């Protein structure tokens, strides 16, 4: 896997119009180290990445995810969802406080609605656990 942190450090630095020496001095690193990072010869330490993210005003997770993807890159834990048919009703909408439910022509009480929501959630969660 290519070292993506080097290209991103170069892109940020150039977009700010700064030299390697300027950034190195401001972040208390050596120009030689910074050059190696940008040229993807070495990867900066986590501490250096945090200093750079602070200096560049970038979320540390963004740069850490590029430098150390196995440790910091966001994990896509949810599989791609199958699109719901156009006539589908979202369960979240059914149990929303703004939605009134009725059964046999009578409005369902808020307490019964919460019980219904808990019941449906339990069914959905048990099905998810069976898949894991």
**Domain-located, residue 115:** yes
Confidence (pLDDT) at 102: 85
**Domain-located, residue 83:** no
Q: Judge whether residue 54 has pLDDT over 50.
A: yes
**Domain-located, residue 66:** yes
- Looking at the fold, whether 14 and 61 belong to one and the same domain comes out as yes
Q: Name the domain count of the chain.
A: 2
Cβ partners under 8 Å of residue 49, min gap 6: 5, 60, 63, 64, 67, 68
**Domain-located, residue 85:** no
- Looking at the fold, whether 112 and 64 belong to one and the same domain comes out as no
**Domain-located, residue 77:** no
Q: How far is CA 88 from the centre of its chain?
A: 28
Residue 120 banded pLDDT, cuts 50, 70, 90: confident
Model pTM greater than 0.85? no
């Amino acid at each position: 896997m290519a070292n993506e942190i080097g290209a991103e450090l170069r892109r940020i630095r150039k977009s700010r119009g700064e030299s390697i020496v300027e950034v190195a001095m401001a972040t208390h690193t050596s120009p030689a180290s910074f050059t190696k990072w940008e040229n993807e010869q070495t990867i900066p330490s986590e501490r250096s990445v945090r200093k750079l993210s602070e200096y560049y005003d970038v979320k540390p997770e963004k740069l850490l995810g590029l430098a150390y993807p196995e440790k910091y890159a966001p994990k896509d834990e949810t599989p791609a969802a199958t699109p719901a048919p156009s006539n589908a009703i979202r369960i979240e909408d059914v149990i929303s406080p703004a939605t009134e439910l009725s059964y046999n022509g009578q409005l369902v009480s808020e307490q019964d609605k919460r019980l219904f929501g808990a019941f449906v959630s339990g069914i959905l969660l048990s099905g998810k656990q069976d898949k894991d």
